[in-house]
Amino acid sequence: MDMVCFTKKVEKRLLLCAVTLLLCGAIGLWIYGSLRATPASAQPEADASEKLPAVPILMYHSVCNNQRVHSEYRITPDTLESDLAYLKEHGYTSIFVGDLVGYVYEGYALPDKPVIITLDDGYLNNYTEVLPLLEKYDMKATISVVGEFCQTFSDTPDRNPLYAYLTWSDIRELDDSGRIEIGNHTYAMHELGTRRGCMKIESETEEKYDKALTEDLSKLQDALTQYSGLTPIVFTYPYGFVSEESIPVIKQLGFLAALTCYERINYITGDPEQLYRLGRFNRPAGITTEAFMQKIGV
Query: Do residues 161 and 129 lie in contact, with contact meaning Cβ atoms separated by under 8 Å?
Result: yes
Residue 66's pLDDT is 75
How many domains would you assign to the chain? 2
CB 295 within 8 A of CB 276: no
Q: What is the pLDDT of residues 246-275, one digit of tens each?
A: 999 999 999 999 999 999 999 999 999 999
Contact indicator for 172, 229 with CB cutoff of 8 Å: yes
Q: Which uninterrupted H or E stretch holds 94?
A: strand 93-94
| Whether residue 241 is found in the same domain as residue 122 | yes
Model confidence over 141-166: pLDDT tens digits?
A: 999 999 999 999 999 989 999 999 99
Asked if residue 117 lies in contact with residue 162, where contact means CB atoms within 8 angstroms, the answer is no
* Domain co-membership, 122 together with 7: no
Mean pLDDT of all residues in 270-283: 97
148 and 258, same domain (yes or no):
yes
Please indicate, yes or no, whether residues 218 and 125 belong to a single structural domain of this protein: yes
| Whether 87 and 159 share a structural domain | yes
Q: Are 74 and 123 in the same domain?
A: yes
Residues 6 and 130 in one domain: no
Q: Are both 217 and 119 inside the same structural domain?
A: yes
Distance CA 247, CA 215 (A): 15
Would you say residue 17 has pLDDT above 80? no
Domain range enclosing 125: 50-296
**Contact present, 250 and 217 (Cβ < 8 Å):** yes
Q: Report how far residue 193's alpha carbon sits from residue 221's, in angstroms, rounded to the nearest whole number.
A: 23
Residue 26 lies in a domain: yes
User: Averaged over 224-247, what is the pLDDT?
Assistant: 96
- How many CA atoms lie less than 13 Å away from 122 in the CB half-sphere? 33
| Separation of alpha carbons 252 and 64, rounded Å | 37
- Residue 56 is predicted with a pLDDT of 98
Q: What ranges in the chain are assigned the alpha helix state H?
A: 3-37, 43-46, 48-51, 77-89, 97-106, 125, 131-136, 147-155, 168-176, 206-223, 246-252, 289-296
Query: What's residue 71's pLDDT?
Result: 73
Distance CA 79, CA 115 (A): 17
Query: Is the Cα torsion angle 282, 287, 289, 293 positive or negative in sign?
Result: negative
Question: In degrees, to the nearest 5, what angle opens at C-alpha 13 toward C-alphas 9 and 18?
Answer: 145
Q: Looking at the structure, do residues 99 and 229 belong to the same domain, yes or no? A: yes
- The mean pLDDT of 118-125, rounded to a whole number, is 98
pLDDT digits (tens, 9 = 90+) for 31-57: 223 322 322 333 344 454 568 999 999
Instruction: For residue 59, tell me if it sits in a domain.
Output: yes
Average pLDDT, the chain: 86
Shared domain for 82 and 219, answered yes or no, is yes
Question: Given pLDDT bands bounded at 50, 70 and 90, which one contains residue 193?
Answer: confident
